[in-house]
Amino acid sequence: MNPDAQLALSAFFQYLKIEKRASEHTLKSYQRDIKQLTNYLLNKQLSNWTSVKPLDIRHHIASRHRSGISSKSLQRELSAIRSFYNYLLKKHLIDSNPAKHIHAPKQERKLPKVLDVDQVFGILEATPDSPLEIRDLAMFELFYSSGLRLSELANLNLADIDITEGFLRVRFGKGGKQRDLPIGSKAIAAIKKWLTYRPETIDEALFTSNKGLRLGQRSIQLRLDRWCKKIGLPEHVHPHMLRHSFASHLLESSQDIRAIQDLLGHSNLSTTQIYTHLDFQHLAEVYDKAHPKAKKKKFSSK
């Protein structure tokens, strides 16, 4: 880049550091991302920022994508480029932002991992050997029974559950939203059993440590991992897999996606619709295994 272009770039990084108080990590990230653009422009013999057009930015991002850079990384790079050009606009050094309407390729949406019904039953029907394992099973039953997020389960208080009526209240769901959820009979029985062992404490938490303190999210994750290893489950299981399994199994049985949206506390139906892909994937696997025309024929070598 020419000296004026280099000076503008240096001034931008100073602006981020001093005026925006960006962290060292953010600064390095911006420097790395804009260096990629700089290298591309130099190869195209573009030596100043004013000569860069939207097509140049689009070609740069496309070339990065072809080299194997993920959509998420490209979104970050575009964000850095837009920020830089917005700074140049603010300083009246350019007339328009060439990256304004450029978007990264859409990231392929990964399907959440779920457990099959037999795996869930294997987790929930194993026999506990201690009060802490009785507590753990009550937590795991509640995950699967009500489709709770990890944070929602960790934040549950005694006052949030009504064992007689069979429901619980999530006071602080995602986005601060509150919702009421049913509790299955197996989970109710497991909670009742845990409450006979729960330490006397001033802490309002439903699930506590043996010292009577609220159990944190990391501790819950570790207890589930420990339990699955104990019962010999080969797959790594995290709490959200029980939530995903709840949604997938319920959709498979009911086909009522709107109800599942409400139970999961999703603001947008599109978030819940990922479970329809899981349901179709399951049906496709059943079809491939069972349909006579789907089975591959074996031919003899005669």
- Look up 243 and say whether it is catalytic: yes
Question: Which residues make Cβ contacts (< 8 Å) with residue 300, sequence separation at least 6?
Answer: none
The single residue of 60, 223, 244, 266 carrying the catalytic annotation is 266
Q: How far apart are CA 191 and CA 138, in angstroms?
A: 5
The single residue of 64, 135, 198, 243 carrying the catalytic annotation is 243
- Look up 266 and say whether it is catalytic: yes
- Secondary structure (DSSP) of 3-46: HHHHHHHHHHHHHHHHTS---HHHHHHHHHHHHHHHHHHHHTT-
Q: How far apart are CA 296 and CA 235, in angstroms?
A: 29
- Look up 149 and say whether it is catalytic: yes
- Secondary structure (DSSP) of 89-133: HHTTS-SS-TTTT--PPPPPPPPPP---HHHHHHHHSSPP-SHHH
The single residue of 20, 32, 44, 174 carrying the catalytic annotation is 174
The single residue of 149, 198, 223, 244 carrying the catalytic annotation is 149
Does residue 221 contact residue 140 with C-beta atoms inside 8 Å?
A: no
- Look up 282 and say whether it is catalytic: no
- Look up 240 and say whether it is catalytic: yes
**Apex 25 CA angle, 22 and 28, nearest 5:** 95
The overall longest dimension of the chain from CA atoms, in Å, is 80
Task: Tell me the Cα Rg of the chain.
Answer: 27
Give the residue numbers marked as catalytic.
149, 174, 240, 243, 266, 275
